[in-house]
C-alpha cells in the first residue's frame, strides 16, 4: 500500500514545485493588490476586486481555456513572451504554475487584505509624524503587522495550488513528468484498471498536505491577532 | 515660533483661525468639537487647509496660494496623541528609537538617557506596549516623540484618556519638559487647569473660531 512508485514520486515532486513557484511569484503581486484594496481608493477598484475573484466563481475549465487562448503559443500574451523572452507556458510545468497561481490568487489575497485592513491607520500616521516616509511606514509598520496574515495567505494559496485540477489540465494537459500533478495523476489512475490502490495512496498524501497547510494557516492567523494586540 | 492662518470646511463647521506666538507653550483651549484637533492635525501636516499658511519657526510648511504642502515626515515635529499609538510589534526601546532611525540622526546616548530619566521610563525598556499601564504608555509616547528631536511638539489631549490620579502623575513631566528641555509645544486641552499650568499663550476656540487669545488669565476658573 505505501510503496510509492517512481511515477507517483514524480507527480508529488512536480505538484510541490508547481505550487511553490506559483505561491512565491504570486506573493509580491498579492501583497501589492491587497494593499491597494485595503488602503487606496481609485477608479476601477470594484472591477479589480471582481477580476481577482473571477477564478473563484468561473468554472475552472473556463479559466483554463482563457489561459490557453491568451497564454498559449498562438495567444497574444503567450506569443509575445515566446518570441521576445523565450518563455513558453503551454504544455510545460511553468504553465501549470501559471494556472495554479491564477486559480489560487483570490484565496492568497484575502487574508493579506484582511490583515492590512485590521491595522490601525493611526499607527501609520504616528510613524509619519516621527519622520518615516510612506515607503518606510509600509516596511516598518504595515508589513510587519500584516506578516502573519501574509504568511496565512501564502499557505492558503499554496494549498489551493496543490489541489488545482480543472484549469491546469485544460491549459497544459496531463503529461507525466511535465504537467501531471497529484490531482491529474489521480484522475488518470482512476481511469486505469487496477489503479485504485495507487489513486488512494495519492488521495491520502494530498489530504495530509492540505490538512497540514490549513493547520499552519490557523496558527499564523492566531499569531497575527496576538501581534496586533501587542502582547 | 508658530504662525497659523487657515480656513477649512469640516462638515457643518467652518474652521477659520489666525494666531501667532513665540510662547514656549501655546495652549489651544475649547470644548470638544471646537476644531482644536483639526488645527493641530494641519500643523502636523496630517490634513491640508482649504486656504491659508502655516509657518513653523522660519519655515513655511503650508501655503495654499502656491500649492505648498510639506508632508508630515518632513516637518520635524513630534506628535503625542491622546491614545499613545505605540507600535505594538516593537518593545519600548525600539519604539523610543524609531524617530531617531527614521530621521537618520546619529545615536545620542546622553540625550536618550536624559529623556528616559526625565520621564522615569528606563525600567520599561524591554517591555511590550501591551504590558504597560495607561500612564506609562503615554510617557513612552512622549519620549518617543522627543527622541526624534522635533523643533515643535504637538500634544492632542495627551491626558484625555487618563483618570485624575494619572493626570496628576504626568503633568509634572510636561512642566519639566518645558522648563528643562525647552522644546516648544502646542498643547490641546479642554481642561482649564491643565492649560493654565502649562501654557504661556492661550488660544480659546469656539465653533471653529477664536473667541479670545492672550495670557493664561483669560481662562475660565
Residue B132 grid coordinates: 504597560
Name every chain B residue with its beta carbon within 8 A of the beta carbon of A125. 46, 72, 85
B80 touches chain A (CB under 8 A): no
B85 touches chain A (CB under 8 A): yes
Contact A227 B130 (CB under 8 A): no
The 10s digit of each residue's pLDDT in A210-231 is 888 888 878 877 877 776 665 5
- Of B87, B99, B103, which is closest to A123 when you measure between CB atoms? B87
B77 touches chain A (CB under 8 A): yes
CA distance B206 to B68: 28
B207 touches chain A (CB under 8 A): no
Residue B182 grid coordinates: 525647552
Contact A230 B148 (CB under 8 A): no
- Of A122, A131, A231, which is closest to B85 when you measure between CB atoms? A122
By the 10 Å C-beta count (0-12 exposed, 13-18 middle, 19+ buried), A155 is classed as buried
Interior/surface letters B2-34, b for 16+ CB within 10 angstroms, e for the rest: bbbbbebeeeeeebbbebebebbbbbbbbeeeb
Are B150 and B78 within 8 A, CB to CB? yes
Contact A131 B73 (CB under 8 A): yes
CA distance A208 to A194: 23
CA distance A115 to A30: 13
Q: What is the CATH number of the domain that holds B120?
A: 3.40.50.300
Contact A230 B89 (CB under 8 A): yes
Are B25 and B207 within 8 A, CB to CB? no
Q: Give, in order, the Cα–Cα distances in Å from A206 to each of A11, B44, B47, B100, B165.
A: 11, 55, 53, 50, 61
pLDDT of residue A6: 85
Residue B84 grid coordinates: 499613545
B79 touches chain A (CB under 8 A): yes
Indicate the domain borders of chain A: 6-228
Q: How many folded domains does chain B comprise?
A: 1
- Expressed as residue numbers, the domain containing B93 is 2-218
Contact A230 B71 (CB under 8 A): no
Pairing relation of β-strands B25-29 and B59-63? Answer: unpaired
Name every chain A residue with its beta carbon within 8 A of the beta carbon of B153. none
Q: What is the mean pLDDT of each run of 10 residues along chain A (231 residues)?
A: 81 93 96 94 93 93 94 88 87 93 96 93 94 94 91 91 92 90 92 89 90 84 70 52
Pairing relation of β-strands B51-56 and B59-63? Answer: antiparallel
Contact A129 B88 (CB under 8 A): no
Name every chain B residue with its beta carbon within 8 A of the beta carbon of A145. 88-89
Name every chain A residue with its beta carbon within 8 A of the beta carbon of B44. 129
Which among A126, A146, A229 is the top mutation candidate for probing chain B, defined by the most B β-carbons within 10 Å of its own β-carbon? A126
The 10s digit of each residue's pLDDT in B152-180 is 999 999 888 788 888 888 888 888 888 88
pLDDT of residue A166: 93
Name every chain A residue with its beta carbon within 8 A of the beta carbon of B75. 129
B144 touches chain A (CB under 8 A): yes
A231 touches chain B (CB under 8 A): yes
The 10s digit of each residue's pLDDT in A19-57 is 999 999 999 999 999 999 999 999 999 999 999 999 999
Are A11 and A202 within 8 A, CB to CB? yes
**How confident is the prediction along chain B (221 residues), in pLDDT tens digits per residue?**
899 999 999 988 999 999 999 999 999 999 988 899 999 999 999 999 999 999 999 999 999 999 999 999 999 999 999 888 999 989 999 999 999 999 999 999 999 998 898 888 999 999 999 899 888 999 999 999 999 999 999 999 988 878 888 888 888 888 888 888 888 999 999 999 999 999 999 999 999 999 999 999 999 88
The CB density around residue A85, as the number of other CB atoms within 10 Å, is: 8
Q: Give me the long-range contacts of A194-200 (CB less than 8 A, separation at least 24).
A: A197/A1, A198/A5, A198/A8, A200/A1
pTM of this structure: 0.85
Of B212, B217, B153, B221, nearest in space to B17 by CA: B212
B48 touches chain A (CB under 8 A): no
CATH superfamily membership of A6-228? MetI-like (1.10.3720.10)
Contact A129 B83 (CB under 8 A): no
Q: Give, in order, the Cα–Cα distances in Å from A1 to each of A8, A195, B153, B156, B159.
A: 13, 12, 72, 70, 70
Are B171 and B138 within 8 A, CB to CB? no
Amino acid at each position: 500500500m505505501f510503496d510509492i512508485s517512481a511515477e507517483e514520486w514524480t507527480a508529488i515532486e512536480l505538484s510541490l514545485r508547481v505550487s511553490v513557484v506559483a505561491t512565491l511569484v504570486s506573493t509580491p503581486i498579492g501583497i501589492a493588490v491587497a494593499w491597494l484594496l485595503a488602503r487606496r481608493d481609485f477608479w476601477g477598484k470594484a472591477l479589480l476586486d471582481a477580476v481577482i475573484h473571477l477564478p473563484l466563481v468561473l468554472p475552472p475549465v473556463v479559466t483554463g481555456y482563457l489561459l490557453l487562448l491568451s497564454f498559449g503559443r498562438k495567444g497574444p500574451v503567450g506569443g509575445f513572451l515566446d518570441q521576445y523572452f523565450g518563455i513558453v507556458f503551454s504544455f510545460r510545468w511553468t504553465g501549470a504554475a501559471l494556472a495554479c497561481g491564477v486559480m489560487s490568487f483570490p484565496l492568497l489575497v484575502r487574508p493579506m487584505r484582511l490583515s492590512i485592513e485590521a491595522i490601525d491607520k493611526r499607527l501609520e500616521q504616528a510613524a509619519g509624524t516621527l519622520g518615516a516616509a510612506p515607503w518606510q511606514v509600509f516596511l516598518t509598520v504595515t508589513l510587519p503587522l500584516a506578516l502573519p496574515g501574509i504568511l496565512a495567505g501564502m499557505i492558503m494559496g499554496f494549498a489551493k495550488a496543490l489541489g488545482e485540477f480543472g484549469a491546469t489540465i485544460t491549459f497544459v494537459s496531463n503529461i507525466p513528468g511535465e504537467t501531471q500533478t497529484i490531482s491529474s495523476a489521480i484522475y488518470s489512475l482512476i481511469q486505469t484498471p487496477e489503479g485504485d490502490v495507487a489513486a488512494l495512496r495519492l488521495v491520502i498524501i494530498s489530504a495530509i498536505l492540505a490538512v497540514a497547510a490549513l493547520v499552519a494557516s490557523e496558527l499564523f492567523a492566531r499569531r497575527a491577532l496576538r501581534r496586533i494586540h501587542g502582547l | 515660533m508658530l504662525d497659523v492662518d487657515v480656513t477649512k470646511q469640516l462638515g457643518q463647521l467652518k474652521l477659520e483661525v489666525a494666531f501667532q506666538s513665540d510662547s514656549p507653550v501655546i495652549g489651544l483651549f475649547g470644548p470638544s468639537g471646537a476644531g482644536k484637533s483639526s488645527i493641530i492635525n494641519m500643523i502636523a501636516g496630517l490634513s491640508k487647509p482649504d486656504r491659508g499658511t502655516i509657518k513653523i519657526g522660519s519655515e513655511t510648511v503650508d501655503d495654499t496660494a502656491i500649492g505648498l504642502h510639506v508632508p508630515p515626515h518632513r516637518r520635524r515635529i513630534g506628535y503625542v496623541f491622546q491614545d499613545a499609538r505605540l507600535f505594538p510589534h516593537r518593545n519600548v526601546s525600539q519604539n523610543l528609537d524609531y524617530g531617531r532611525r527614521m530621521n537618520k540622526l546619529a545615536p545620542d546616548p546622553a540625550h536618550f538617557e536624559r529623556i528616559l530619566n526625565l520621564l522615569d521610563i528606563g525600567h520599561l525598556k524591554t517591555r511590550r506596549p501591551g504590558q504597560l499601564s495607561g500612564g506609562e504608555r503615554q510617557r513612552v509616547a512622549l519620549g518617543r516623540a522627543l527622541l526624534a528631536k522635533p523643533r515643535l511638539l504637538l500634544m492632542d489631549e495627551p491626558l484625555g484618556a487618563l483618570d485624575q490620579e494619572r493626570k496628576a502623575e504626568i503633568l509634572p513631566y510636561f512642566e519639566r519638559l518645558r522648563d528643562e528641555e525647552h522644546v516648544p509645544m502646542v498643547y490641546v486641552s479642554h481642561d482649564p487647569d491643565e492649560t493654565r499650568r502649562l501654557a504661556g499663550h492661550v488660544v480659546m476656540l469656539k465653533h471653529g473660531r477664536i473667541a479670545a487669545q492672550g495670557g493664561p488669565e483669560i481662562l475660565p476658573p
